[in-house]
Amino acid sequence: MQYRCCHTAEADIGMQFYLTDTDGTGGSIKNSAEDFIVKEISNRPAQKDEGRFVIADVTSKNWETNRLVRLLARTMFISREKIGFAGTKDKRAITTQLMSFECPKEKIDLIQLDDVSIQNVYTANRGVRIGDLIGNSFDIRVRDCTMPLSEIPSKVKKDLEIIKTVGGFPNYFGVQRFGTVRPITHIVGERIVRGDLKGAVMTYLSQQSEFEGEEINDIRRRFGSGESFEDIIPDMPKTMGFEKTMAEHLVRQPEDYIGAIAEMPGNLQMMFTHAYQSYMFNMMLSERMRRNIPLNEPILGDVVVPIDADGNAMHDDAIITTSKNIDLVKRQVTRGRAFVTITLYGTDSTFAEGEMGEIERNFIEKEGITERDFVVPGLPHCTSKGTRREIICPVRDLDFKMEDDGYSVRFSLPKGNYATCMMREILKSDMTDY
């Protein structure tokens, strides 16, 4: 199968091909938060009267998850580490996600944040942890299409038919993993992994983006110019809260770059390293597609994982595709009961064999890193064992409908996958439209 090349900025973060070969509809999926509605499909902790954790569904509009957690903690007078959630969500969206609060139940009544509502409150003996969900359902509205509306139905139906035939879409890590407005998270992570902690901090503080606006870019220029952090901090806008925390630490303890990174929330520290791993995965997936190797059919040497009843991969049961089992493995993949994987390189990584193994090994060698680099002294949240990731993301409950000024698409995905990667197959717009 010949895959279509991507010529937008997504290629810089490894998303270099499309599965679908049609022209895109163009358009934007986030003109307003109401255009992107996300609801978690949750694995809820069991209810327990007088449990030490308060569990609740939190619906928010235009809130980035880390900022929401920070403000919730401040409002409730608890540590942000006392708030648990299963996964980060898009900012420009209406999202409903399960959260836990390690505090007395009455503290929930203190939450009075704009565009945040709390439902289905109960207590349990355990909190919510990262990854503690089944998947997400999406209702996405597309507006400002560049394709005439009359041509869209047949085009989108062809895209969806290709996706259904293949069994899903290329399971790239989407632009949110790297920063939609300022895609640098993987660069910060790479510098952490290579031991350049000063470079990591200065990249986070000073690297500019044309999409952030002049006020913020001026602050970033000042950080990069060598100006005293103490002089810059009073001029920083509220939206630079994490950068301000880093800078304030370095004022108190100059040159303590480990400490500056450690001031970040644990999940954000993990995101730095994970984003670098994600970039490498995207690049290796693109190389597989460049070579026209199937996504929905294993070849000799591929590592294949079965899925559980919820549609999530069982990585502990991975098998290598060999000449003896290839027919059986192909049947399982064809039926959607198993998926081919690519390495997310870390301390405990495994490589495939055959041609995919060659792609993985060659890329890691070219990067000049080793497994030991993913042990980061002093920053346990940035240490990563690695795993493997499926190269196809299956789609459930897929529905398409024309609207007066565009169209909408509804579907659900297993956890850890990106709705924007589904939508890019249809839109083929620049990533800033996501």
| Residues marked as catalytic | 90
d(CA 74, CA 409): 37
For 63-221, strand residue ranges (E) read 83-85, 94-101, 116-124, 133-143, 169-170
d(CA 4, CA 269): 35
Cα-based distances in Å from 142 to 154, 311, 356, 366 = 16, 27, 36, 39
Assigned token pair, 50: 């007088």
**Closest residue by Cα to residue 202 from 138, 285, 157, 261:** 261
- Bridge partners of 10, per DSSP, are none
Q: What is the DSSP letter of 44?
A: P
Assigned token pair, 388: 């493997």
> Do β-strands 338-344 and 387-390 pair in parallel, antiparallel, or remain unpaired?
antiparallel
CB 19, CB 285: distance < 8 Å: no
d(CA 234, CA 115): 28
Count of helices and strands (H, E) across the chain: 12, 16
Task: Kindly give, in sequence order, each residue whose CB lies less than 8 Å from that of residue 192, ignoring residues fewer than 6 positions away.
Answer: 200, 261, 272, 273, 276, 376, 379, 382
Assigned token pair, 96: 């409903």
Residue 154's H or E segment, with its range, is helix 152-166
Assigned token pair, 129: 């942890």
d(CA 397, CA 258): 45
Task: Kindly give, in sequence order, each residue whose CB lies less than 8 Å from that of residue 331, ignoring residues fewer than 6 positions away.
Answer: none
Q: Cα 64–66–72 angle (5° rounding)? A: 95
